[in-house]
Amino acid sequence: MPSKKQSAHSPRSCPYPTGKLLLIGGHEDKGQSPEPSDESALNENFAPEIILQRLADEIGKRGPLVVIPTASGEPRNSAHDYQRVFKKLHRPTIEVLDIRTRAEANDEDNLKLLDQAGGVLFTGGDQLRLTALLGGTALQQHLRARYAHDALIIAGTSAGATAMSTPMIYQGRDDAGFLKGEIHITTGLELLHDVAVDTHFIARGRMVRMAQILATNPACIGLGLEEDTAVLVTEGRELEVLGSGLAVILDARACSSTNIHEIAPNTPFTMRGIQLHLLASGERYTLPTAPRLYA
C-alpha cells in the first residue's frame, strides 16, 4: 500500500495517464459542406466539425486550447484555420504557440502558457520537423508531465498525430513499402508507446508501409487513421473511434513468419498472419500494450 504522504501524481498511485490523446487522420471537417458528388455527402457518419467539437467538449472550461503549428511550413495559416473554426464553435479560446527553434521550446514564458492550457493541438505538416525541434526540450517534458498527471487533452492531426507515437514513421512514399528499407522510423514525442500511427491511411494507400513497420517491430500495434477520422485515447490504451471514416488496427504479435531479416535491401518482404481490425465511428478498442507514465 502506498503511504499517505505519497503524491497523488506518483506512478504507483496513478498507473494510467490522467490526460487524453486525440489522434486525427488529417483533413478533419472544419465546417465546410461537402459537394453532392463527394463521398462525405453519401456517408451517414458524416457530421460537420464532429471531431473538433469533441475536442472543444473535452476541454470544457479548463483553459485555452494552445495550437502548436511547428510541423507546418506555413504555421500562421495553419493556426488561423483553427482560430476560425473554434470561434465559430464559440469555445475554447485559442492561444498560438509558434515554436520555430529549440531555444523557443525551452523558453520559460512558453512553458507558462503550456501550463495554463486546457488542451494542446499539433497541426499537420512534417512530423520530423516537429520532433527535431521539440524532442528532448523542456516543452516536451512539460507536455509529458501534464499528460501523465493532469486532465489535459493533447490532439494532433496528420503529422501532429503521427508524431505522438513511438515508433514514428517519418519517411516513405505512399506507393512504397513492399521493398525492404523503403520506410524509415524514429522516436516520436513518446506519448503513445509501442504504437505506430499513420494518417490519411486509406486515401493514400498506406497499408503496406505500415506492415513493413510491424515486420521489423512486431511487438508494436499499427494504427491507421483515415481522413476526417480520429481516435480518443483514455488511460493510455482505451480507444474510441470518431468521425466519418475508419480506424485500421494492424496486429502482428501473432505473426507466424517473416523474411524481413533475411532478405537484401530493396527486395519485397513476406509476412504471414497479421490480424486486421476495421473500426467505424463509435467502436471501441483496447490497445494490447501497457501504457507508460512519466513522473
pLDDT tier at 294, thresholds 50, 70, 90: low
CB 252 within 8 A of CB 214: yes
| pTM assigned to the model | 0.91
Q: Is the pLDDT of residue 32 over 80?
A: no
CB 188 within 8 A of CB 165: yes
Query: Rounded to whole angstroms, what are the CA distances from 262 to 79, 161, 211?
Result: 46, 32, 16
pLDDT, residue 1, reads: 36
Residue 238 CB contacts under 8 Å (≥ 6 apart), including other chains: 284, 286, 287
Per-residue pLDDT tens over the stretch 265-286: 999 999 999 999 999 999 999 9
pLDDT tier at 292, thresholds 50, 70, 90: confident
Mean pLDDT of the chain: 90
pLDDT, residue 40, reads: 67
Q: How far apart are CA 278 and CA 31, in angstroms?
A: 26
CB 209 within 8 A of CB 198: yes
pLDDT above 70 covers a percentage of the chain that reads 91
Using a 10 angstrom Cβ sphere, with 0-12 exposed, 13-18 middle and 19 or more buried, the burial of residue 126 is middle
Beta-bridge partner residues of 176: none
Instruction: Assign a CATH topology to domain 20-286.
Output: Rossmann fold (3.40.50)
pLDDT tier at 5, thresholds 50, 70, 90: very low
Residue 246 CB contacts under 8 Å (≥ 6 apart), including other chains: 201, 202, 226, 229, 278, 279, 280
Triad 187, 193, 199: Cα angle to 5°:
75
pLDDT, residue 146, reads: 96
* pLDDT greater at residue 175 or residue 166: 166
Q: Is the pLDDT of residue 238 over 60?
A: yes
pLDDT above 90 covers a percentage of the chain that reads 82
Q: Is the pLDDT of residue 18 over 50?
A: yes
